[in-house]
Amino acid sequence: MHVIGTAGHVDHGKSTLIAALTGIHPDRLKEEKDREMTIDLGFAWMELPNGEKVGIVDVPGHRDFIENMLAGVGGIDAAIFVVAADEGVMPQTREHLAILDLLQVERGVIALTKTDLVEDEDWLDLVEEDIRSIFNGSSLADAPIVRVSAKNGSGLTELKNTLAITLKDTPHRADLGRPRLPIDRVFTIAGFGTVVTGTLLDGSLRAGDEVVILPAGLKGRVRGLQTHREKEEIAIPGSRTAVNITGVNVDQIQRGDMLAHPRQYGVTKRIDTHFRMVADASSPLRHSSEVKLFIGAAEVVARVRLIGADQLLPGEKGWLQLELRDPIVTVRGDRYILRRPSPGETLGGGQVLDAVPKRRHKRFAPDVLDRMISLEQGTPAELFLQTARGAGIAPLREVIRQTRLEDKQLREALDELLRTGQLFFLESADQRESKDDLIATADTWASMTAQAESEVREFHRMYTLKKGMPREALKSRLKVEQRIFLAAMRRWVQDGRLVELGTLVQMPGFQVSFRPQQKTQIDQLLAQFAGAPYMPPSVKDCQSLVGEEVYHALIEQDILKQVSPDVVFRKEDFDQISDRVIAELQKGGTITVAQFRDQFNTSRKYALAVLEYMDETGVTQRDGDERRLKQL
Ligand code: GDP
């Protein structure tokens, strides 16, 4: 599950393009429709050609609404960067690019749209050149350009294909078991009450979960969840999620609040950060200046403490301690943007290094600066863990390749992570490592396990009469490769999380349970079998009495045994018949259909079905009219 955000100058055709791609017009407000302009965030979703469903956050392009844009781009995995072919690069093209660069959005596709308005190919080439030159050096420098028109539909298929390719190797958001939802919309739905939406991070939410709204600390409960308008039992990290909560009133919540599980997050009014100033800022950033901080979906006023410098010039980097006017929820690694309040201007942005620094730092103390530097670099273990999370379950070799740590650091990082249980080898129980073995982080594993259990549980809920979910169905729901699935399955069985029955997977302790009415019908049916064990009701009779589904459940549970397309016995009766026949034949004799019929006082139909079944299963062999025990 991924989320894409739009970007681009006002009127360049973002909303129209999203509507053409998804069939959903993202402008929601009446004022937006009247002014034909996006003011606030819009939301849509679509299925890419490879079947992946992606959420889309459509942002306003007008410079007056840049701050609404910032509330929406926090959780995106990739951008659709829209540039109108007739106008080319404009001021908010640059400003949006600068913001995506500060947020380190590294994946995206540039949609050169409105190409229907431009007849001159040379002009399109020039505009593309111009785009390349401003994207150069940014996090989106390698984004492909696709020429499209939302009016006549040209290039839309290519755009979707290019998005699918771009997202294909975009890591999924890690499940750290600590869900948090930066709230970007709050509203009520008649009959349901309060709904909040956002892009879910760091963990999964389930219907029924207890939650808190921070920073206020209001307690509530998840009544229902939706992703892309579909009801879900569980919402996974990285998905656009709507949460229907009980216990909290709509006017107690606002954009920028955070929904989380109780006791997992604190609030903070002071953060240490690394900061990069945009190159075209109009003036330096001075110590003690007042700025607006945008982080997650939140916006708060902050005062800057510049560490180790009196001012930062455009393009420079440095370390800040930010003192916030209002509390927020954030964690190390979160990205943020700073803007000057008035006149509004993007100053720069960076990453949170410490979300709860213990004290107000002395600005020029060497140890303070040293600490900032080492926090920025991160420990090798942190780096390895991040990479392993991004890789999902993967061979150790693969993660090592991506981390690019030198041997000694790598060894230390691995030892620490294995020792603390944050990382483990999936395939080998004794933790003896080979570079080809699959490794998983504890949180990735926990979330995959939760997902597998929830799939199997859901299967049982839907098919109460089936013993289990076909393994292949589970594998395709989990979307993992065969090797990973096999290793995971083995672990789940070992750990008692799931039970394997041949090709089926079951929750431990699951029992097929019949409804009272079905039970009555089954009793009636079994009574008929008891009344005539050797001439019982036919398959068709059974199915018309108890229904096909219940019939199959009785077969699966070994209560009935079907021996031919229309002959079925109670299992116990069949076993008795077959024991008697075998005992007879062991005396060295033979049996014919007619003899069988007379012995069991049944009809030719049943006699034939049983004997043919015994031939097929290799118990007897036929020789003319006679059957004898098969010689081994
Ligand atoms: P946004 O502000 O970037 O979301 O831009 P809109 O989607 O509201 O589009 C601005 C204007 O451009 C509207 O009048 C659209 O009808 C028009 N427009 C959008 N895409 C195209 C296109 O591909 N071709 C043409 N000819 N007009 C377009």
Return the pLDDT at 588.
80
Pocket test for ligand 1, best of 6, 10, 11 (most atoms within 8 A of CB): 11
Closest CA to 510 of 553, 555, 571: 553
Task: Report CA(36)–ligand 1 centroid distance (Å).
Answer: 9
Chunk the chain into consecutive blocks of 10 residues (it has 632) and report each block's average pLDDT, rounded to whole numbers. Answer: 90 93 74 64 85 86 76 86 96 93 93 95 95 96 96 95 89 83 90 90 93 96 88 88 93 95 94 95 94 94 96 96 96 92 91 88 88 84 84 88 82 90 80 80 88 92 90 94 94 95 94 90 96 96 94 92 96 95 90 94 95 94 91 70
Q: Ligand 1: does its nearest atom lie under 6 Å from the Cβ of 451?
A: no
- Residues 40/28, Cβ–Cβ less than 8 Å: yes
Q: Ligand 1: does its nearest atom lie under 6 Å from the Cβ of 369?
A: no
Q: Pick the atom of ligand 1 nearest to 9's CA.
A: 3
Q: Ligand 1: does its nearest atom lie under 6 Å from the Cβ of 141?
A: no
- Residues 220/235, Cβ–Cβ less than 8 Å: no
Q: Ligand 1: does its nearest atom lie under 6 Å from the Cβ of 147?
A: no
Return the pLDDT at 198.
92
- Residues 296/181, Cβ–Cβ less than 8 Å: no
Task: Report CA(149)–ligand 1 centroid distance (Å).
Answer: 9
Q: Ligand 1: does its nearest atom lie under 6 Å from the Cβ of 152?
A: no
Task: Report CA(89)–ligand 1 centroid distance (Å).
Answer: 15
For ligand 1, atom 9, the nearest C-alpha belongs to 13
Q: Ligand 1: does its nearest atom lie under 6 Å from the Cβ of 149?
A: yes
Closest CA to 240 of 252, 225, 254, 256: 225
Return the pLDDT at 391.
80
Q: Ligand 1: does its nearest atom lie under 6 Å from the Cβ of 63?
A: no
Q: Pick the atom of ligand 1 nearest to 8's CA.
A: 3
Q: Ligand 1: does its nearest atom lie under 6 Å from the Cβ of 14?
A: yes
Task: Report CA(132)–ligand 1 centroid distance (Å).
Answer: 22
Count of CB atoms within 10 A of residue 124's CB?
Answer: 17
CA atoms within 13 A of residue 547's CA, in its CB half-sphere: 12
Give me the sign of the Cα torsion angle 137, 139, 144, 146. negative
Q: Ligand 1: does its nearest atom lie under 6 Å from the Cβ of 20?
A: no
Return the pLDDT at 432.
62
Q: Ligand 1: does its nearest atom lie under 6 Å from the Cβ of 114?
A: yes
Helix axes 14-22, 156-168, angle to 10 degrees: 90
